[in-house]
Structure 1
Amino acid sequence: MDFLTTVLLLLVGAGGGVALANALRTRAGVTDIRRDSVLLLERIEKVCKVVMAEGYFSEIYNYQDQKKILYLLNDPKKAMIIAKSKVLVGFDFAKVRFRLPESGEKKLIIESFPEPEVLSIDTDYKFYDIQAGYLNHFNSADYTKILDDAKQAMNERALQSDLPKIANNQIQYMMYQLASSMGWQLQLPEADQRRLDALKASAEEPAPAHKQLPGGS
């Protein structure tokens, strides 16, 4: 038996052994699952963002894509996604513009204050009723677009809710209290100052007296 024949017999024997092992493993119901992950840190940035309001939202998002086969027959695919999100709304203090008066008095003048913004959206997605067409199948790009659209819709819904108003009231009153505790005055832009004055007046209103019920002591 020459060398080449010996090598071929060894390869055939090894292949048969692997095939037999795979068959036995399949019959025994043993599954070999391997998961690998790679964490890449792109960059670290210094931020000065403050969360002032937190909201929880649920949304049902319907996705449908129509595709024509040979420009005649419709071949639709559709999916329903239920998204539950925790939305944090706050401010980026790097956008605040302020100055101190030249007189030297303890007064902080805010010339420009940023609008509240969505700082983060933590969303849990669940797919239901996924129906692919005969030739119009779902691919990774479709799922990415669905999740991006659902997240964008959640972002718009959060900005249309009461979260921005609550965040505005919170930050302005907090800044006022902090400045007052240090003996400083706070001056905001005109519209914000009116809102702050209304908040201060509401907070300083005495609680309504309880009326005594007839026959009480």
Structure 2
Amino acid sequence: MQRKLLFLTGIIFTIVLLFKFCEFKKEDSSTIDYNSNLIQQQIVNVGKLIVTEGHFSQVLTYKDQDKYFMNMISFDKKALIVVNADVTVAYDLRQMKYDIDEKNKIITILYIPKEEIKISPDIQFYDVNQSKLNPFTGDDYNKINKSVRASLARKIEKSSLKSNAQNRLVSELSKILILTHTMGWKLQYEGKVIESDADLNQKIKM
């Protein structure tokens, strides 16, 4: 009778252990799923269009000559050009690609889209001088437009517009970094574990 009681007690104890073990595994699995879903939601929240805007103005003088009879006669045209341009630098983080390694608790950013620079110039012509033998044509306007955009591109490179856009990019990605650190996960980008905003800045501006 005593042996049967011990045997029955052993069976009950084993069943209780198995139940607790299964319950623990279930809770552990639920926690992993919860963490993974939370991180995915944060990445979705970050995934948006980041836009930094700027305004540039400049004044140009356009000149052109048509010469005839061994350069003895010339027909000139010229114009004063005033340019006001709106410029945007954008990162579309909806295009960002990433991988979630639930087992090792690692988020790897696979791809961050490059910045998109959009220049919208408003070109006004003043003091236009031209002759019937050398009038302004479509080619002139194409040359002017190309010259204006090249000049604006140089100004943008020298300005703080791109760096301001990069700072906003880092600010958005930092939200993922903060969440991963809080949950005990790691964030990687281009083979490097990202520990701080400074690491993000360094990798993005390389």
Give me the TM-score of the superposition, normalised by structure 1: 0.55
Which sections of structure 1, spanning at least 5 residues, go unmatched?
A: 1-47, 201-217
Q: What pairs with 1:6-17 in structure 2 (closer than 5 Å)?
A: none
Aligned to 1:41: none
Shift of residue 103 of structure 1? 2.8
Note closer, same or farther for the CA distance 1:186–1:74 as it changes in structure 2 (3 Å cut). Answer: farther
Aligned to 1:101: 101
Note closer, same or farther for the CA distance 1:83–1:171 as it changes in structure 2 (3 Å cut). Answer: same
Look up the SS of the partner of 1:75 in the other structure: strand
Determine if contact 1:176/1:186 at 8 Å carries over to the other structure: no
Percent identity of equivalent pairs:
26
Note closer, same or farther for the CA distance 1:198–1:122 as it changes in structure 2 (3 Å cut). Answer: same
Bigger share in helix: 2
Determine if contact 2:92/2:113 at 8 Å carries over to the other structure: yes
Note closer, same or farther for the CA distance 1:114–1:150 as it changes in structure 2 (3 Å cut). Answer: same
Aligned to 1:169: 167
Aligned to 2:38: none
Look up the SS of the partner of 1:66 in the other structure: strand
Determine if contact 2:68/2:74 at 8 Å carries over to the other structure: yes
Q: Which amino acid aligns with 2:87?
A: V
Partners of 1:192 and 1:92 in 2: CA distance? 23
Task: Establish whether residue 136 from structure 1 lines up as the match of residue 137 from structure 2.
Answer: no
Note closer, same or farther for the CA distance 1:181–1:101 as it changes in structure 2 (3 Å cut). Answer: closer
Q: Which amino acid aligns with 1:78?
A: K
Note closer, same or farther for the CA distance 1:160–1:188 as it changes in structure 2 (3 Å cut). Answer: farther
Which sections of structure 2, spanning at least 5 residues, go unmatched?
A: 1-46, 202-206
State the superposition RMSD in angstroms.
Answer: 3.4
Determine if contact 2:49/2:94 at 8 Å carries over to the other structure: no
Note closer, same or farther for the CA distance 1:104–1:151 as it changes in structure 2 (3 Å cut). Answer: same
Look up the SS of the partner of 1:136 in the other structure: coil
Partners of 1:166 and 1:188 in 2: CA distance? 21
Residue by residue over 1:97-132, the C-alpha shift from the partner in whole angstroms, topping out at 9 and shown as x without a partner, is 533336351x432244344230x2232222112121
Aligned to 1:76: 76
Shift of residue 88 of structure 1? 0.6
Look up the SS of the partner of 2:101 in the other structure: coil
Bigger share in strand: 2
Partners of 1:159 and 1:121 in 2: CA distance? 13
Give me the TM-score of the superposition, normalised by structure 2: 0.58
Look up the SS of the partner of 1:150 in the other structure: helix
Note closer, same or farther for the CA distance 1:140–1:190 as it changes in structure 2 (3 Å cut). Answer: same
